[in-house]
Amino acid sequence: MTDFRIMLREDFILRNPLLTASGTYGYGDEIADLIDPELYGGIVTKSISLEPRVGNPPPRIAEVTSGMLNSIGLANIGVDKFLEEKEEFLAAYNGKVIVNIAGRKDDEYVQVVKKLSDRQWVAAFEINVSCPNVSEGGIEFGRDPLILGQLVKRLRHATDKFLIIKLSPNVTDIRVLALAAQENGADAISMINTVYGAAIDIHTRRPKLNTVVGGLSGPAVKPIALAHIIKTYKGVDIPIIGIGGISCGADVIEFLLAGAHAVQIGTANFFNPKVCGEMLDFIEQYCTENKISCLRDIIGRVEV
């Protein structure tokens, strides 16, 4: 049997490198009857903000070739209701619980982190500074390395839990942001969030999203994600969690070879609820055929 464990920090070890992607798996309990969360190495929750957010008006999801567009606008129940309604389920989960956090300003991020830091079941925070479809906050923090660094430094002082910064591809050079995150105390970076995209209904001549432009996810963005990871891997000393169009076990292997220590599965869960189990089976077979005893041995081993 292959050792699937991945160590991201001495006190943070994933039982396997597969995580859910924020915004595609709810808070874990809503779709547990369809997708067994225990197959995953961890759950990354839907974004949580200090106060509840209604999000953008519909239509806010559209299917496109090789993916989907979304403009949810970080709709969520807020941190207090999150604790009230979701804590029991998440505290009983055997994998890592990674809480994704969104905010309009630094103080909101910090307050949410402080509210959750004393919960033992919270293993890590993923800080969303890269949402392309909100009018305040979101990607604004993830465009400027100075602003990002200041936010990461404040969050590092607020918690000793594993801290992940989620980066956007919608910037000039993602490596600059990755270094800013690392230099100010991040334990890992996750990349990439969605790419700007739009679609038009040719019959109504109207955009398919209310906000016109949204975030593109799914297989179409996989080559973009891989390119960013390959470029960033040798420039940082902290782990990378890969995201973007991962739909099968071969995709997972590609991301690990590119330099990702773990990956997040998002859009694939919508069209194949069994995808996680299928990925694990493929990875085991691949490792057996290639005499790989530890999955971590192939991280960053792409021949470039």
- What would the pLDDT profile of 253-269 be if each residue is shown by its tens digit? 999 999 999 999 999 99
Straight-line distance from the first to the last Cα atom of the chain, in angstroms, rounded to the nearest whole number: 29
Nearest 5°: the CA angle 154, 159, 160 is: 125
Look at residue 304 and tell me whether its pLDDT is greater than 80.
Answer: no
131, 248, 276, 287: the active-site residue: 131
Look at residue 139 and tell me whether its pLDDT is greater than 60.
Answer: no
Specify whether 276 is catalytic: no
pTM of the model: 0.96
Look at residue 294 and tell me whether its pLDDT is greater than 60.
Answer: yes
Q: Of all residues in the chain, what percent are helix, strand and coil, respectively (each to 5)?
A: 35, 25, 45
Q: What is the mean pLDDT of residues 127-146?
A: 72
pLDDT of residue 1: 87
Return the axis-axis angle of helices 145-158 and 174-183, rounded to nearest 10°. Answer: 30
- Confidence band, pLDDT 50/70/90 cuts, at residue 130: confident
Report the 10 Å Cβ neighbour count for 20.
26
Look at residue 286 and tell me whether its pLDDT is greater than 90.
Answer: yes
What is the spatial distance between Cα 243 and Cα 212, in angstroms, rounded to a whole number? 24
CB-count burial class (<10 Å; 0-12, 13-18, 19+) for 204 = exposed
Residue 127, beta-bridge partner list = 101, 165
pLDDT, tens digit, 9 for 90 and up, residues 68-101 = 999 999 999 999 999 999 999 999 999 999 999 9
Look at residue 132 and tell me whether its pLDDT is greater than 90.
Answer: no
Look at residue 230 and tell me whether its pLDDT is greater than 60.
Answer: yes
Looking at the domain that runs over 6-55+73-196+217-298, which CATH code has it been given?
3.20.20.70
Instruction: Output DSSP code: residue 79.
Output: H
What is the spatial distance between Cα 218 and Cα 256, in angstroms, rounded to a whole number? 18
